[in-house]
Every structure is written in C-alpha cells, then in structure tokens.
Amino acid sequence: MDTRPLLFIDSGIGGIPYAHFFYSNNRCEKLIYVADRANFPYGPKSKKTLVELLIFLVSGLVERYDPKMLVVACNAASVSALADLRQSFPALRIVGTVPAIKSAVLASQKRRIGVLGTQRTIEDPYIASLTAQFGPDCTILGEAAAELIDFVEHRWLVADSTERLLAAKPWVEMFLEKGADVLVLACTHFLLLREEFRQAGGGALAVFDSVEGVSKRVESILDEEGLRASAVTLAQAPRILVTGPPPTGDYWKQLTFAFGFSLELEQ
C-alpha cells in the first residue's frame, strides 16, 4: 500500500477533467492538482523555456509532497518536456498526455484530421510522427487557438451554455469547411468544451480526446508497480494548488467547488 499523493499539473484549469475523471474511478487515491497560474499560458512558450520552468516546478513539488506519480495534464508541456522530466526525475513515475491521433485516424473516413491545440503542440514534430505512425495517408489540419484557451481559463465557469457553444462553433465550422470528419482536442483546456464541440458538429465531426486513455495508463502503472493505496479507505477530497499571486475574486473557489475539490493557494 502506498498512500503518497499523485500530482496532476497544468498551466491552469485545463487538466482538471483528467484529474477529476481519474479520481471519480479511484477514490482511495490522494490527489493534488497543480494549476501553475504563475506561468500561464504554456502554449506560446518555447520548448527550452517550458523545460526549464517545469523542471523547476516539479523539483519543488517533489520536495514538498514526495509524490508516487506525476501526470503532466497538458499537451504542450508533454510534447515539449516529458523526456527531460523523466531524465531529471528518474525515480518518479511520469505520465504525459498525448493527442488522440491514433483514435481519430482509425475513425476517419475522409482521412482529414482536425487538430486543435496550442501553438507549441501544433508546431511540435510529435504530431507529424504520430500521424506517420498511425495514418500516413491522412492530412493533418492543425490550428492553434490561444483565444479559446483564454476563454476556457477565464470565462468557462461563468459562461452559460449559449456562450460556450458560440465559443466552440467557429472552430467546428472551419474544420468542416476544410473537409475534416474528426477533431482531436490537443489541448486539455478544450475538454471543458467537449460537449459543445460535439453539439456544434451535429454528428458530422467526431471529437476525440485522451482523458480516458491517460487515466487507464495511470491505473495500470499503479497496479503493475504495487503503488495502490488501500482500496477500503476513501482519500480526502482532491486539492487544487494554485501557483503565483492569489487569484482575485471567487472564481477559483467556485471552480474547485464545482468539481468537488478543495483550494490551496501557494504560500
């Protein structure tokens, strides 16, 4: 039995669906979600900058929490820094988030794959290598959507269903116009608009993400390496640690309450 916590990290709220999905199926595990608001957003940053700031961040978290596993719940951070993090922390099990290219390729009839993410993720060669591996006959239609990430980060909680749908709809229409029949959500922030993307597509655009696959990967490592906490003990509610200056207003308090988490501000 290993009661040490699992850490999930992202630059803001985007990775929360990953942490929430995992915890919903593994309530005996202690979980800490780190919203690295001090460095939001990750997407526009260079690979070198992301590697440096993530190694610094994880170093402090390892010293503070002694986690048994780290989930990098951010596509930009994963494609940029996963290898460096594993090299810097060889004793820590680290799981990244990979855009669901394989699932999209298997489902596509038109062989045109829409990929929506950050500039860092879209430009990274990893997307091309995944496509070459699983669908060399496919065309990738990659689009960076910094403004949509900003919307999710700052407006998602308080926006009504109409506003959320209007935020997603132009991107869906653009991919449909370009002939795509599948869409990969290659930024974790966009999972919070997953249903709006599906609604806007009206069945013409299948939407894929990696949240279930990441959760299953974490579970398999826990099982294979004997890292599970006691199955008969319920852990305390997951905590969200927000880095940087204390956020103003009640937005983060409302957000953590909405997901059943508790809020902890960086000291």
Quote the pLDDT of residue 109.
Answer: 96
DSSP string for 18-35: HHHHHHHH-TTS-EEEEE
Quote the pLDDT of residue 235.
Answer: 66
**What six digits make up the tokens of 80?**
């940029």
Is 138 annotated as catalytic?
A: no
Residues 15 and 190 sit within 8 Å (Cβ to Cβ): no
Asked if residue 237 has pLDDT above 90, the reply is no
Quote the pLDDT of residue 12.
Answer: 93
C-alpha 112/C-alpha 20 separation (Å) is 31
Q: What is the mean pLDDT of residues 195-202?
A: 96
Structural domains of the chain ordered from first start? 6-98+211-265 (3.40.50.1860), 101-208 (3.40.50.1860)
Residues 138 and 111 sit within 8 Å (Cβ to Cβ): yes
Single-letter code of the amino acid located at 241: L
> Tens digit of pLDDT for each residue in 92-148?
999 999 899 999 999 999 999 999 999 989 988 888 899 999 999 999 999 999 999
pTM of the model as a whole: 0.93
Cα distance from N-terminal residue to C-terminal residue, the chain: 30
Catalytic residue among 69, 74, 94, 205: 74
In the chain, the largest separation of any two C-alpha atoms, in whole Å, equals 52
Catalytic residue among 187, 205, 207, 211: 187
Q: Considering only 96-110, 211-225, 248-262, which range has the smallest mean pLDDT?
A: 248-262
Percent of the chain with pLDDT over 70: 96
Quote the pLDDT of residue 213.
Answer: 95
